[in-house]
Structure 1
Amino acid sequence: MSVEVIRARRLGDVPHGFFGRRGGVSDGMVAGLNAGLGSADDPAAVAENRRLATDAVLPGAALLGLYQIHSAEAVVVTAPYAAAARPRADALVTDRPGLLLGILTADCAPVLFADRDAGVVGAAHAGWKGALGGVTDATLAAMASLGARRERIVAAIGPCIARASYEVDDGFLRTFAEADAANERFFADGRAGHHQFDLEAYVAHRLAAAGVTRIEALGLDTYGDEERFYSFRRATHRGEADYGRQISVIGLG
């Protein structure tokens, strides 16, 4: 079965891919390539979708994921583990060939990292809480512990909710402004008492502030493109009982 693999130009030949919902075997409200272990989807369908994604990027690799908790925690992984044993964290890095790092999102920003020279890769789930808390900084630190250097690291920000689709209230903006007054530039005026937050731009800013100079933002809106992507916020606005998760992966061949 054919699945759509979205690749970042800057990551070049490093095995990687951002996936949406095109292809896959799930049906119903999560129809397509739903990779969410926490969804109400048939576990066999989720397993098959995850296999399809793995085979499209690094056939035969062991796909490793996380129990994501919207944190700034990053872990180093060195060997396969069962899904039931996945760490509670929001980023993972490795320098071991044959491991494929996977992050699930449904509006949050997936970020893939690579230092080709050091042979180190990473993947981060950057929702607003994790992004503000420093999940990308934690990922870079974990990569550095394996020999990566920030000036060599390439980072790509995959499909996530866009500013035009991400309405937040005054309290949300205040949380970011209290962390750094300059963060107000990532918010556009909206209706009374509300603002439009640019998550992708904020994540790119955090990467640049941490010393990453080669950053690619794909500019793909998960909320606005229902045919191509799953979206937690879209499902919530519609009162749907479940939502799919897309997977983003990177590894070393």
Structure 2
Amino acid sequence: MISFAQVPSLKNAGVQHGFFGRSGGVSSGEFAGLNVSYATGDVPDAVDRNRALVSEALGGKPLVTVKQVHSNRVVTIADGALPEKTVEADALVTARTDMLLGILTADCAPLLLVDPAARVVGAAHAGWRGAVDGILTNTVLAMEALGAQRTQIHFAIGPTISGKNYEVGQSFEEEVLTLHPKAEAFFSTPPSGKAHFDLPRYLASEAVDLGVADVVDTGLCTYADPERFFSHRYATHQKTRTGRQIAVIGLA
């Protein structure tokens, strides 16, 4: 059976939303469950059906995604035709009510945002590079360009790899700190181990600094629960492939 997680602040804001995992769906083998990515090697017909199941679970509106490239680029969907899936970007914002915005992940952080008063929503994909380069800030700015106010934006972080399981090493830490010295607080090194980076805590801190209305981290770790979520890092450690889950938001 298909299932998804929700957060009260978004639900109370009156939007359709869900952080989906791998439960349900028609994919099999390495991609068993609700894989929504065409780029993993799964059967395209299975991915089509899985995406249809996601849309149906949230009312049946068209599901809009983009080609995610670990950037800080945001696409605003205004009037006219829906964007092609080949558009390279890592976030979507809109004030339209005739679509669902979707972000694919398998360890990176899916971010959902809504200003219920201005009726503007956003969805962003934040890997470490996109996070450090400001994908969250750019998403908030794009929402403000549509009439949102950051002090009215409710923000949620979906299933992502936790700091406990995100081992990155010294060279990674040095690269991040060169780009963003204030990120030092989000690194830790266990005894006799390599550096770890707490991506969700980094994003939550940035959201607080931006002054959004509230910040919710679901606290769900993709790596720690491979039966429930697709995890690229877990699959790599197991020398196999994996799919992608989706986080979705849309105005009712």
User: Considering the TM-score relative to the shorter chain, is it more than 0.5?
Assistant: yes
Distance 1:115 1:165, change over 3 A: same
Give the equivalent residue in structure 2 for 1:250. Answer: 249
Contact 2:36/2:48 (<8 A) preserved: yes
- Same amino acid, percent of matched pairs: 45
Q: C-alpha displacement at 1:115, in angstroms?
A: 0.4
Give the equivalent residue in structure 2 for 1:176. Answer: 176
> Which letter maps to 1:4?
S
Give the equivalent residue in structure 2 for 1:76. Answer: 76
Greater mean deviation of Cα atoms: 154-163 or 167-176: 167-176
Q: Does 1:219 align with 2:219?
A: yes
Give the equivalent residue in structure 1 for 2:207. Answer: 207
Q: C-alpha displacement at 1:252, in angstroms?
A: 1.0
Contact 1:170/1:193 (<8 A) preserved: no
Q: C-alpha displacement at 1:172, in angstroms?
A: 1.2
SS at match of 1:182: helix
Give a deviation string over 1:42-79, Cα, whole Å, max 9, x none: 111101111111111132x1110010000000010135
For 1:156-175, list aligned pairs within 5 A: 156-175=156-175
Q: In 2, distance between residues paired with 1:185 and 1:228?
A: 30
Q: In 2, distance between residues paired with 1:152 and 1:228?
A: 32
Q: C-alpha displacement at 1:174, in angstroms?
A: 1.5
Residue-pair matches, total: 249
Q: C-alpha displacement at 1:80, in angstroms?
A: 4.8
* Structure 1, unpaired ranges of 5+: none
Give the equivalent residue in structure 2 for 1:106. Answer: 106
Give a deviation string over 1:115-165, Cα, whole Å, max 9, x none: 011110000000000000000011011101100000000000000001111
Q: In 2, distance between residues paired with 1:117 and 1:34?
A: 34
- In the superposition, the TM-score normalised over structure 1's length comes to 0.94
Contact 1:58/1:251 (<8 A) preserved: no
Give the equivalent residue in structure 2 for 1:52. Answer: 53
- In the superposition, the TM-score normalised over structure 2's length comes to 0.95
Give the equivalent residue in structure 1 for 2:2. Answer: 3
Give a deviation string over 1:200-224, Cα, whole Å, max 9, x none: 0001111112221401000000011
Greater mean deviation of Cα atoms: 70-79 or 98-107: 70-79
Q: C-alpha displacement at 1:182, in angstroms?
A: 3.1
Q: C-alpha displacement at 1:192, in angstroms?
A: 4.5
Q: In 1, distance between residues paired with 2:81 and 2:121?
A: 16
Q: In 2, distance between residues paired with 1:56 and 1:104?
A: 17
Show structure 1 runs of 4+ deviating over 6 A.
none
> Which letter maps to 2:58?
V
Give a deviation string over 1:158-179, Cα, whole Å, max 9, x none: 0000111100111111122223
Give the equivalent residue in structure 1 for 2:133. Answer: 133
Contact 2:17/2:249 (<8 A) preserved: yes
Q: In 1, distance between residues paired with 2:208 and 2:187?
A: 18
Considering only aligned residues, what root-mean-square deviation do their CA atoms show, in Å?
1.4
Q: Does 1:41 align with 2:57?
A: no
Give the equivalent residue in structure 2 for 1:20. Answer: 21
Q: In 2, distance between residues paired with 1:141 and 1:129?
A: 19
